[in-house]
Chains A and B, each alone.
Chain A
Amino acid sequence: MIIISCLSDLLPGEAAVVERILPGALLGRRLAELGLTGGTRVKCELAAPSRGPKAYRIRGALIALRLADARTVIVRRCPAASHYPPPS
């Protein structure tokens, strides 16, 4: 299984941890404000039809990002058995 990939590659139901946001990303700052920083756990929840945006659970909020933008976020997939949010 590919461990390191980009956020846009996650399928609904897959969780990952953010490694880094590629420099020069237009949305870099906006993503950071929304809480998408290194070490953040994210989970892909929805995929819009017709190669549209995907919606990710980021720090409790459901945020839709276009694939072109999500491609600039590098993530490390969590093994399938893991569960988000982590049971407390």
Chain B
Amino acid sequence: MRSGSASSARPRAITVALAGNPNVGKSTLFNALTGKKQHTGNWTGKTVEAASGSVRNMPVRLVDLPGTYSLHARSPEEEEARAFLESGAADAVIAVCDATNPERSLILALQLLETCPGRVVICVNLLDEARRHGITVDTDVLEKRLGAPVIGTDAAHKKGLDALCAAVLRIADPPSADPQAVISPSEEAVKEAPAEMADFDKQAEWASRAEAIASAAVQKTGAGRRLDAHLDAIITHPLLSVPLMLLLLAGILWLTIVGSNYPSALLTRFFEWLEAMLLSGAAAIGVPAILTDALIGGAAHTLFTVIAVMLPPMAIFFPLFGAMEDFGLLGRIAFNLDGAFSRCRTCGKQALTMCMGLGCNAAGVIGCRIIDSPREQRIAMLTNSFMPCNGRWPILIVMSGLLFGRSGTLSALTLTGALSLGVGMTLLVSRILSATLLRGVPSSFTLELPPYRVPRIGVLIVRSLAERTLFVLARAAAVAAPAGLLIWALGAAAPGGISLLVRMKAALDPIGRAIGLDGAILSAFLLGFPAAETVLPILFAIYTASGSPGGAEAIFSANGWNTLTALNTLLLCIFHFPCSTTLISIKKESGRLSDAVLAAVIPTLIGILLTSLTTAVWRLFT
């Protein structure tokens, strides 16, 4: 460490910048070195915020720069990275290269060597993937040609990290100011270019240097790529692609529905027991009944219902989705669907945000950050709620049971049908928005299709659970308890002997009947604004308060339900305003209140339109 006066100086922290292309495992390396759990999807290529952390409790601050292809382009990420590096704030730079694609990732490394001479350590990551694809990299040759230390790593399995740390520390703080401590580059590494060379040609020069160096240091057997090529040929096949994707979707839905049945039932029973305990405990210590009713019967009950309904499907859906992401399928899906989406003036990545919306619309909205064009990002956010989130699935499943009979398979099929409707409407509305409010032409975009990777199951589960599931659950809890309190209050407050809830139902009844529903259903959807999972419980509460106990079917038929009611409830469930959390996310992501308003109005109008249509047709034939 740099020493000042022995007694009062504290060792100065070393700052190390982590730079590299997207998709080279930079985040994995960052997490491995700092112990953090940061995550970016491997198909997005976008780290949204630069993060920093300390390495292994040493006074070394590692700054994770956004993934970039070049230091000299116009995008904000690249500007940010270059500004940081040129400021001299970094004592050392780790240039992360991809062993499975050295030529391309070396281009940035060469730029870094030029921008920060003498301070760069080249890290060749993904050695395991490279080996799997029959590629071997000779780090000694690279070291000679580049004139900088080259360390091979496999961040996913934590290999090579010690050597990397040692090399970085040596560069950041050489043991002596001895110039011989720095490796002297070979002749080819030092090339002079005329200062006025246009950026474009400079880029070409770096590219050809990278190619030359890579061809000297890299051996490819080409064996591993054949499996990838076969998989790709099948997945993007003109005839097979759509059926395969539908099958994949239906499969994930089926797994989620069937897999969460038992855990949800268990959780429900557990919470019933818990509620009973809380109630009797509160009574035992003399808590006034109104308080226990409100807090336990109202707030806690709603909270428990939301958790029991929401947690199991999310705990299955998000890991499945994450597995597809890790594996590399999502990029191929975006690739397949881009044709259709670009004809609607948006892009294939929207399909991926829609998939995320299936888990949770708020997560889907945030996921729209992967879309480069701001206009297309807004369109994706505004239409995300056409994909019913996990919280809405129970409604769809119950309606499916009413319409078609109860069965896991039929439910999955109905859900797939509902989703297809949602997808069709998304394309249509995106096209209309592109022609009207959010006018524009299709953007240019590039999408890298990385080699298929074996998903790392352990990391995946932890990441899905910690990040997505718990995050969503936390916000649901924050919203569900107060919502439950409010609903209890509406039910309990009974001026003139009739509860506010019943009054609300009565007030909305005329409108409801006009579109083939009733006031209770409309009230339930309105009161379910904070959390979609509460709609069914509220509906049952309204019906049973007016006196009709029994199972779901009994309650519905006792309240005058018929096929039209079930169908229209299904339609309204898909097409109505998104939940409060989603709207807040939209406002935050786009910065415009008007977008949040649009996001609420558009689906609701469509829902009313569709239900009016079915009602009219129904009335015509009965």
Other-chain residue from B200, B222, B342, B451 in contact with A52 (beta carbon distance below 8 A): B342
Contact B203 A32 (CB under 8 A): yes
Interface flags, B474-494, vs A, CB<8A=1, else 0: 000000000000000000000
Given the complex of chains A and B, what is the CA–CA distance between A35 and B447 in angstroms? 14
What separation, in Å, do the CA atoms of A40 and B69 have in the docked complex? 17
The one of B102, B207, B215 in contact with A88, judged by C-beta atoms closer than 8 angstroms, is B215
Measured CA separation A49–B239 after assembly (Å): 8
Contact: A61 with B220, CB < 8 Å? Answer: no
Residue total for B at the interface (Cβ-Cβ under 8 A): 47
Also in contact, A63 and B233, with CB within 8 A (given A38-B204, A48-B336): no
**Contact between chains at A33 and B107 (CB < 8 Å):** yes
Complex Cα–Cα for A65 and B442 (A): 13
Q: Does B103 contact A (CB under 8 A)?
A: yes
Q: Which of B51-101 contact A (CB under 8 A)?
A: 69-70, 73-74, 100-101
A3 at the interface (CB under 8 A from B): no
Are the CB atoms of B103 and A60 closer together than 8 Å? yes
Complex contacts, A28 vs chain B, CB 8 Å: 200
Residue of B nearest to A69 (CB): B444
How distant is the Cα of A12 from the Cα of B57 in the complex, in angstroms?
51
Contacts known (A35-B103, A52-B348); A46 close to B335, Cβ less than 8 A: yes
B446 within 8 Å of A (CB atoms): yes
A50, B339: Cα distance in complex, Å: 6
Residues of A within 8 A of B236 (CB): 46-49, 55
- Residue interface bits A58-72, CB-to-B below 8 A is 1, else 0: 111111111011000
B296 CB, min distance to chain A CBs, angstroms? 55
**Chain B residues within 8 Å of A45, by CB:** 229, 232
Contact at A51–B448, with CB atoms within 8 Å?
Answer: no
| Bound: A61/B336 CA distance, A | 18
Q: A26: CB under 8 A from chain B?
A: yes
With a CB–CB cut-off of 8 A, which chain B residues contact A37? 200, 203-204, 207-208
Give the docked Cα–Cα distance between A68 and B345 (Å). 13
B338 at the interface (CB under 8 A from A): yes
Asked if B238 is an interface residue, CB under 8 A from chain A, the answer is yes
Cβ-based interface call for A79 (8 A) = no
A27 interface residue (CB < 8 Å to B):
yes
A27 to B233, CA, bound (A): 26
B445 contacts partner chain A, Cβ-Cβ < 8 Å: yes
In the assembled complex, which residues on chain B have CB atoms less than 8 Å from the CB atom of A51? 339
- Are B335 and A52 in contact, CB atoms less than 8 angstroms apart? yes
In the complex, are the beta carbons of A39 and B208 less than 8 A apart?
A: yes
Which residues of B425-453 are within 8 A (CB) of A?
Answer: 442, 444-451
B104 touches A35 (CB 8 A): yes
CB neighbours (8 Å) of A29 from chain B are 73-74, 199-200, 203
Within the complex, what minimum Cβ distance (angstroms) separates A33 from chain B? 4
Which residues of chain A come closer than 8 Å to B340, judged between CB atoms?
50, 52
The docked-state distance in angstroms from the alpha carbon of A14 to that of B336 is 20
Question: Is residue B279 contacting chain A, with contact meaning CB distance below 8 A?
Answer: no
Bound: A50/B449 CA distance, A: 18
Inside 8 A of B203's CB, which chain A residues have their CB?
29, 32-33, 37
State whether the Cβ of A34 lies closer than 8 Å to any Cβ in chain B. yes
CA distance A53 to B442 in the complex (A): 13
A60 close to B449 (CB less than 8 A)? no
Chain A residues within 8 Å of B445, by CB = 66, 69
- Distance of B329 from chain A, by nearest CB (Å): 14
Q: Assuming A46-B232, A49-B339, A61-B104, is B446 touching A30 (CB within 8 A)?
A: yes
Interface residues of chain A, those whose CB is within 8 Å of chain B, are 26-35, 37-40, 45-53, 55, 58-66, 68-69, 85, 88
21 A-B pairs, CB-CB below 8 angstroms? A30-B73, A32-B203, A32-B207, A37-B204, A39-B204, A39-B208, A46-B233, A46-B236, A52-B335, A52-B339, A55-B236, A59-B207, A60-B104, A61-B104, A65-B446, A66-B338, A66-B444, A68-B442, A69-B444, A69-B445, A88-B215
**10 closest pairs, A vs B, by CB?**
A52-B339, A50-B339, A37-B204, A33-B69, A33-B70, A64-B447, A60-B101, A32-B203, A62-B449, A59-B103
